[in-house]
């Protein structure tokens, strides 16, 4: 009786079928792994981009500068804080850190935007540019939002700030900084001290706080050439 060596044709076909199935499963598993890894990388990249954008606008707002627009009667400090948007001059630019820039932040078509134009791109002298003019030169999408709401904490005028911070102010202090829904520095002759931003999205809400570094009335008085208050 001859002893059979190797596999029969049927056994070979079965083995090939099993190997093909295993290879298909391995290929599918690898494909899903790669897709999942790519998805994670995209999500991480999106988060890093948003984090960078969040850090940038906070730095820009904190660096609000004492910049004056020339008017026939008196130079006016440039900072226009409204309930849902804000325009200001920053010491630095997102595009180039050593250049000052006029910046705008608000919502357009459900997207939270930060826009700016360096003074080389748009030199501001007598008129404050519109958000459209600024956003034409540089715009950065931060996140989809339903609403932005700004609040500004500061004094009503340099005179009240001096009175509120002078000698004896701790005992009798009729003047105190307050929260404002709008803060026009051309009227108040001051920059706000703090800015609060409430952000509403479909998934909830967040609040951000920014301190304006350059809000010293002494500097403002020098720039404006004001006499003693």
For 172-190, the pLDDT digits (tens) are 666 788 999 999 999 998 9
DSSP, residue by residue, 79-146 = EEE-SS-EEEEESS-SS-TTS-EEEEEEEETTEEEEEEEETTTS--SSSPPPHHHHHTT-EEEEEE-S
In a domain, 136, yes or no: yes
pTM above threshold 0.85: no
In a domain, 36, yes or no: no
In a domain, 34, yes or no: no
Rg (Cα) of the chain, in Å, rounded? 30
In a domain, 219, yes or no: yes
Q: How many domains are there within the chain?
A: 1
Whether 99 shows a pLDDT value over 80: the answer reads yes
The percentage of the chain sitting over the pLDDT mark of 70, rounded to a whole number, equals 78
Mean pLDDT computed over 63-74 = 86
In a domain, 3, yes or no: no
Task: Please give the residue range of the domain that contains residue 149.
Answer: 50-224
In a domain, 188, yes or no: yes
Would you state the pLDDT for residue 223? 42
CA–CA dist 193, 212 (Å, integer): 5
In a domain, 15, yes or no: no
| Adjacent-strand bridge partners of 140 | 114
Q: Which helix (H) or strand (E) holds 197?
A: strand 194-201
- Contacts of 47 by beta carbon, 8 Å cutoff, 6+ apart: none
Whether 117 shows a pLDDT value over 70: the answer reads yes
In a domain, 181, yes or no: yes
Q: How far is CA 129 from CA 63, 88, 98, 132, in A?
A: 19, 10, 21, 8
Mean pLDDT computed over 96-100 = 89
Q: Which helix (H) or strand (E) holds 77?
A: strand 76-77
Q: Give the model's confidence band at 131: pLDDT under 50 very low, under 70 low, under 90 confident, else very high.
A: very high
Would you state the pLDDT for residue 170? 56
């Amino acid at each position: 009786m001859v002893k059979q060596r190797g596999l029969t044709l049927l056994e070979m076909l079965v083995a090939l079928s099993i190997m093909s199935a295993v290879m298909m499963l391995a290929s599918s598993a690898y494909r899903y792994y790669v897709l999942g890894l790519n998805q994670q990388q995209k999500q991480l990249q999106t988060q890093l981009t948003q984090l960078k954008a969040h850090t940038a606008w906070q730095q820009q707002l904190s660096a609000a500068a004492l910049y004056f627009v020339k008017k026939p009667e008196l130079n006016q400090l440039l900072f226009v804080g409204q309930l849902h948007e804000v325009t200001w001059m920053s010491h630095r630019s997102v595009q180039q850190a050593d250049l000052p820039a006029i910046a705008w932040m608000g919502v357009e078509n459900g997207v939270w935007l930060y826009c700016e134009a360096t003074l080389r791109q748009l030199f501001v002298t007598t008129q404050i540019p519109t958000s459209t003019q600024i956003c034409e030169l540089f715009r950065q999408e931060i996140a989809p939002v339903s609403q932005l709401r700004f609040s500004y904490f500061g004094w009503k005028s340099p005179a009240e700030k001096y009175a509120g911070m002078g000698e004896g102010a701790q005992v009798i202090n009729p003047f105190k900084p307050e929260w404002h829904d709008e803060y026009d520095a051309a009227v108040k002759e001051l920059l706000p001290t703090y800015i609060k931003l409430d952000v509403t999205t479909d998934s909830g809400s967040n609040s951000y706080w920014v301190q304006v570094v350059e809000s010293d009335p002494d500097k403002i008085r020098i720039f404006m050439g004001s006499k003693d208050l």
